[in-house]
Structure 1
Amino acid sequence: MRRWLALLAAAITSLVLIALLVPMALLIRSVAENGAMSRATATAESVAVAAGSPALELTVEQARGGPFPVTVFLPGGGVLGATAARDDAVRLAATGRSVTAHAPGGRTVLSSALTPEGTVVVRVFVSDAELTRGVREAWLGLAALGLLLVALGIVLADRLALAITRPIGAMAQVSHRLAGGDLTARAALDGPPEVRSVALALNHLAGRIDDLLAAERESVADLSHRLRTPLTGLRLDAESLADPAEAARIAARIDELQRAVTRVITEARQRSNEQSCDAAEVVAERAAFWSVLAEDQGREMRLDLAKGPLPVRVGAAELGACVDALLGNVFAHTPEGVALAVRLTPGVRLVVADEGPGFPPQALERGRSGAGSTGLGLDIARRTAESAGGALELSPGPGATVTVTLSPALALS
């Protein structure tokens, strides 16, 4: 676009300059010719005034040093001044007329004066160089001015194009960032009003997308919190059935339902890598939620949580789901009354420990916990830790201890 605007400006400026400078150049030439002829005529008249007086020779001699050669044809056939032929123009001027005629290499101006001896003819020769004196310099000046104006037009057109293309290019970069998942990208309100209007609309669209995704994450998080506790209670009820076969069948169906719910929640909770939250606030909130069930089951729940803020590189919904998965495993796979502890250190390290039977070595593999569990809870915790730049560790018994290490964030988003 910049190139086309520059070419367009150059073409328009050139046409305008041609329409203006060509007539001006012809006018300058005409003015130079008229000026030279006027000066030659004045010289001829000044010499003709001295005709018939003793000062004629002195006047001709003085005119010899001027730009125009002067020749005086006397009545008796004599000639004063520059050598020149007595041509038809001279003979015509001898009849008492002022004549301007073309001559080889220029023009002649002839003026006559009547004296007692006869008619004196004064001939002044104007060379082509005198007729065009200063014209070439003036034309070169006009050409330089034209080129300067064309260059100035191209520069101004380029600046104008840049004022349009730069904001458009910046908006294209913002759109690519939005498409790549960076929902914090915003376009600068620069450029002409139309471009600023487009940038404002793009920013409004980006903000709307961000709001919709935030609402979706909140809905998914709420769904997660609503479903996990009933599923845990349903599993406990299934394990308390008297018929082991029926209990196993119902537990398998519950595991299948838990896998489906977790898969839906995980797929819906796709987030930007730029999210962060306060780990101290999220862990405290989820621990308070599960403490009600711990009290109902007669479990001692010890909390040792560092004071916040502890910003981490994971969203609040994702970290809450991780805590729910770890605590849900404790409640689902340890007998009622078994104590548990939740610790959060400034590291940031989240430790969930219980006094139950512990985990087998394959616990991190989904569906192979070996204790009736699908392993989904630990897998959720592992993926949450890895997405936040951390890791998950299991400690051997007695009891089970899960340590989730999270990567600190520079600031809360």
Structure 2
Amino acid sequence: MTGNLPAGRPLRRRVLVAIVGVAAAAVVLFAIPLAVVLQRLYRDETIVSLERDATRISAAVPDSIAQHPKPVPLVTRMSRRLSVGVYTLQGRRVTGRGPGNSPVAGRAGDGHVHEAVEHGLLTVSAPVPSDESIVAVIRVATPYDDVTARAERSWLLMAGLAVLVIGLAAVVARRQAVRLAAPLERLTTDAQALGDGDFSIRARTVGVREADAASRALEATARRLGDVLDRERAFSAHVSHQLRTPLTGLLLGLEAGLEEDDQRAVIRTALERGEHLQEIIEDLVRLSRGSAGDRGVLDVTALLDEVRARTDVDVRVPDRLPEVRASLTAVRQILHVLLDNAVTHGRPPVTVSVIDLGNGLAIDVTDTGPGIPDGTDVFRAPADGHGIGLALARSLAEAEGGRLIIRRSSPPTFSVLLPAGGYGSRD
């Protein structure tokens, strides 16, 4: 059975998109603050370096540099890209490089170091102290693009790492999507096979608890459906055989009654046989549907009293029996098959004996017929349909957790073995 796939995205794509989306969101949420922090860190590092250079230069210039300008002395290990200039306390350049007027330099007259971005340069100004006051200001600046370029290189590296992380997440997500979707796809295939009538489906363990549970449930469903179908087929094959004998007896009784003067007795006998036939039909229908509604403690005594009332058999039951749980319908049909087999193929007297086995009980059906030839499998239904009831009886016994065996070949003795479920006493 095949059909169109339902609308919606497949599970593999959903899992892949979900995992990759979560990974990408986590990377973005982590990378944006980190990028901002890195930019501020590089800016702060540059400012610290400029402050250090400005302080070193201010210590190296003479106190009179504002009145007698001279080239600004450069300290060692200082970058050539730095712009160094000497400014008055009003922010006017005296010597060195830099703009003619610098507000940042003017603020350093308070005796503190100041920083700002000025004319595209990251600028730091430091005061030049003398013995009594501040006499000049050192202004050191570097292109702000250098700081930005350093941050951008870090951002590119972070972007590369982010792509790598998302790529790895995509690989893991793809593997996980396959791992999660494959069991469901196999379950879909198995369900389609089940719909096509294949009841041989077996559970597949994949390590995903929910998928394994669904697979086991599907296997159990397939087994139950197969059992139901087998019972229906068995019922169709066995019903004619099971009904042939009582129906024949009913018809023969009616034919014989045509010659009798006492029609009332004939009608009463026919009604009894008809009721028995109706009971057999109801039992077979109930068993074909797998009904276990009457499964409970089996009243063996009452069942055998029923057998004694309807058939001419010798019934032997001990005073104390183990408690057995089984379907009354199933056991009654098993005994019906065995008694019908004894009457049809054996010779009277027919004896039904109940034996206490300790861990269960046995119901033996014995007649005085010629016995069962060696090598004959009486439980295999032959092609002509004769003896098909024994195969049904054995399957019914096994369905109740018991067995149907041949205890002796001569005199022929069939034994129904039923396991005990506790110990009870005969009323």
TM-score normalized by structure 1? 0.49
TM-score normalized by structure 2? 0.48
